[in-house]
Amino acid sequence: MSKPHSKPHSKPQETAVYTHGHHESVLRSHTWRTAANSAAYLLGSLKPHMSVLDVGCGPGTITADLAALVPDGHVTGIDRAPEILEQARATAAGRGLANVGFTVGDVHALDFPDDTFCVVHAHQVLQHVGDPVAALREMKRVTRPGGLIAVRDSDYAAMAWYPPSQGMDAWLDLYRRVARANGGEPDAGRRLRSWALEAGLTEITATSSTWTFAAPDERAWWSGLWAERTLASAYAERATAGGHANAEQLRAVSAAWREWGRRDDGWFSVLHGEILCRKDA
């Protein structure tokens, strides 16, 4: 006898604030993301017929890539921000994809029955939620027996750059304080396996991978978006409103990013933790 499907009865309890917001400098980064540069650890496990849930899909570039890789299946992208889903729908429509849809949703209380999806994927999500273990339990709940939960998150404390810079050191310290004040965990990458174990997952493959920015165009792009984000995004507003930095300090951090981007010997690496978990059959 198959077990009955069910949905959680409680309403979503949002206990964290999304640190970055949706400023243009943030979306510039999000729309650069692809399945190849952000979900490579998952791609070998995808089959053409699979149904996939993409949690925290943002502007939908990864979501669209996943849909192209499961042509006989279907991908559902969810995000808490209705306005960003319009961009995601445009992304999918522009690629002529008919097997993808988008809806507003919260990972703390997914509006899907038990055992719905072959794969549940989340990229750069758990670092921003109030209860990552509860989020993983929800992701597990809506995954079919034998299906996969795939999660990738950056780890800010493990980010590395050259040359040394006191201004960049100040940026890292500030970002981590703001993110934690917002209820998130900026050093999520190293914690994913631990969180998965606490959520009751047992078959876990833990890996890591990096983004690296070193070529002139890469340095200009990465430094430019962080220089702008430091001054003009929701992150900047939360940094000042929370008493973590004043305007002068933010300008100094922004200038440090610009200076790093101009260095011919500049190099920056973003470490990501990854987990691929199979739900017990």
pLDDT greater than 50 at residue 7: no
Count of CB atoms situated within 10 Å of the CB of 246: 11
In whole angstroms, what is the distance from residue 12 CA to residue 26 CA?
25
Q: Which phi and psi (to 5°) does residue 275 adopt?
A: -135, 135
Write the pLDDT tens digit of every residue in 50-106: 999 999 999 999 999 999 999 999 999 999 989 999 999 999 999 999 999 999 999
Band of pLDDT at residue 29, cut at 50, 70 and 90: low
Q: Which residues contact 1 (CB under 8 A, 6 or more apart)?
A: none
pTM of the model: 0.91
Band of pLDDT at residue 28, cut at 50, 70 and 90: low
Q: What is the pLDDT of residue 3?
A: 37
Q: For residues 237 and 252, which has the higher predicted lDDT (pLDDT)? A: 252
Q: For residues 4 and 224, which has the higher predicted lDDT (pLDDT)? A: 224
